[in-house]
């Protein structure tokens, strides 16, 4: 927190129309326009790790455009994060689109550098490959973190075409390298076909439990939240959200869609039930604008990011009150 100065909030929509001005997330100020920052929103336009539909490199731009209607006060959480903490859009992290290993190093280094200025980072991808370097950066600061992973897929596979780092492998690599806490990590919303039952056995060995899309349908949001909270406890928590956790009806603009997913309402309710946890970082990934229509996916992703931003702002406020 920076008590010496009042936080600078979103631009005033009564003076500059929402469709005009700088295209920052939720019309927030740019990082270079604020004296200090508590929570940074950053784009990572990288999608070289995709295995099916490309195009998530254009996700940050698309989500920012869809976020123009967001407003400062979040009634669902009864919190106005922009009045309590300084939030700013840090622009994009540039990563080599032709070399995954170099891109991963660039993302990890840039996230570490940004983390020296901001207490929390919310990243907008990009494909899910970016979760691997982001977890590397956050674990350097907090140690192994609990990972709450919302996705249609496990993303703990070993390789694709003998490549160890892709959008289907970030959490396997993170687990193997000690970035995540194997006693407190959870997949939420997984569903659909797998290569074999071995996928589930490997996933459990790597440290994940599962709250499937079917479990949520059959038992409801409160039961899902109970399982998540009992698993995560009070550990430092990193939340990673692949927008394909939503059903294609709610998020058609993504690279690997699977039928039978969550509704946007269910996902937002789940996130709102986690605001008292120790969230240390988050990402929203796999928005592919070429397959979107009427900004359906972009709007969902923008609102998901808004809930995450509000939740992390509350963590920052609590930490400041404890000092």
Q: Which of 243, 242, 247 is nearest to 258 (CA)?
A: 247
Q: How confident is the model at residue 269, as a pLDDT?
A: 98
Q: Are 156 and 203 in contact (CB under 8 A)?
A: yes
Q: How confident is the model at residue 245, as a pLDDT?
A: 98
278-311 pLDDT per residue, tens: 999 999 999 999 999 999 999 999 999 999 999 9
Q: Are 249 and 296 in contact (CB under 8 A)?
A: no
What CA–CA distance (Å, rounded) separates 311 from 145? Answer: 17
* For the chain, percent of residues with pLDDT exceeding 90: 90
Distances, alpha carbon 99 to alpha carbons 27, 47, 60, in Å: 32, 11, 20
What CA–CA distance (Å, rounded) separates 307 from 313? Answer: 10
Give one DSSP letter per residue of 208-257, joined into a string: EEEE-HHHHHHH-HHHHHHHHHHHHTTS-EEEEEEGGGB-TTT--SBSS-
Q: How confident is the model at residue 322, as a pLDDT?
A: 86
What would you measure as the largest C-alpha separation in the chain, in angstroms? 58
Q: Which of 58, 42, 128 is nearest to 92 (CA)?
A: 42
What CA–CA distance (Å, rounded) separates 154 from 131? Answer: 13
Q: Chain centroid to CA 55: how far?
A: 18
Q: Kindly report the CATH class assigned to 25-322.
A: alpha beta
Give one DSSP letter per residue of 65-78, joined into a string: HHTTT--S-BTTTT
For residue 295, the tally of other CB atoms under 10 A from its CB is: 17
Q: Which of 300, 295, 304, 308 is nearest to 62 (CA)?
A: 295
Q: How confident is the model at residue 5, as a pLDDT?
A: 61
What CA–CA distance (Å, rounded) separates 179 from 147? Answer: 9
pTM of the complete model: 0.96
What CA–CA distance (Å, rounded) separates 223 from 32? Answer: 43
Mean pLDDT of the chain: 95
* Sign of the torsion angle spanned by Cα atoms 70, 71, 76, 80: positive
Which residues lie below 8 Å from residue 193, measured CB to CB, with a gap of 6+?
A: none
pLDDT digits (tens), the chain, 323 positions: 444 467 888 877 766 777 887 889 999 999 999 999 999 999 999 999 999 999 999 999 999 999 999 999 999 999 986 778 999 999 999 999 999 999 999 999 999 999 999 999 999 999 999 999 999 999 999 999 999 999 999 999 999 999 999 999 999 999 999 999 999 999 999 999 999 999 999 999 999 999 999 999 999 999 999 999 999 999 999 999 999 999 999 999 999 999 999 999 999 999 999 999 999 999 999 999 999 999 999 999 999 999 999 999 999 999 988 87
Tokens read off for 61: 């731009």
What CA–CA distance (Å, rounded) separates 49 from 54? Answer: 9
For residue 249, the tally of other CB atoms under 10 A from its CB is: 12
Counting DSSP H helices and E strands in the chain, the numbers are 10, 8
Tokens read off for 163: 């490549």
Q: How confident is the model at residue 3, as a pLDDT?
A: 42
């Amino acid at each position: 927190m920076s008590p010496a100065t009042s936080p600078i909030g979103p631009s005033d929509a009564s003076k500059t129309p929402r469709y005009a001005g700088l295209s920052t997330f939720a019309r927030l100020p740019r990082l270079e326009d604020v004296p200090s920052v508590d929570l940074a929103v950053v784009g990572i336009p990288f999608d070289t790790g995709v295995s099916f539909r490309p195009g998530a490199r254009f996700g940050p731009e698309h989500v920012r455009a869809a976020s123009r209607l967001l407003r400062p006060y979040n009634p669902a959480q009864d919190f106005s994060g922009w009045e309590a903490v300084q939030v700013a859009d840090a622009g994009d992290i540039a990563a080599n689109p032709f070399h995954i290993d170099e891109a991963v190093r660039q993302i990890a280094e840039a996230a570490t550098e940004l983390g020296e200025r901001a207490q929390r980072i919310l990243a907008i991808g990009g494909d899910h490959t970016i979760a691997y370097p982001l977890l590397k950066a956050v674990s350097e600061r907090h140690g192994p973190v609990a990972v709450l992973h919302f996705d249609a897929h496990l993303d703990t596979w070993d390789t694709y075409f003998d490549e160890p780092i892709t959008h289907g492998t970030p959490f396997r690599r993170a687990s193997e390298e000690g970035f995540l806490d194997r006693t407190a990590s959870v997949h939420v919303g997984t569903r659909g076909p797998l290569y074999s039952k071995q996928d589930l056995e490997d996933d459990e060995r790597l440290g994940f439990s599962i709250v499937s899309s079917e479990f949520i349908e059959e038992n409801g949001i409160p039961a899902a939240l109970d399982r998540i909270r009992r698993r995560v406890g009070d550990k430092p928590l990193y939340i990673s959200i692949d927008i394909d956790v939503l059903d294609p009806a709610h998020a058609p603009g993504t690279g690997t869609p699977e039928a039978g997913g969550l509704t946007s309402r269910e996902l937002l309710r789940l996130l709102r039930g986690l605001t008292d946890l120790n969230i240390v970082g988050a990402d929203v990934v796999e928005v592919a604008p070429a397959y979107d229509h009427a900004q359906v996916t972009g709007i969902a992703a923008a609102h998901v990011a808004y809930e995450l931003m509000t939740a992390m702002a509350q963590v920052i406020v609590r930490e400041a009150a404890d000092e």
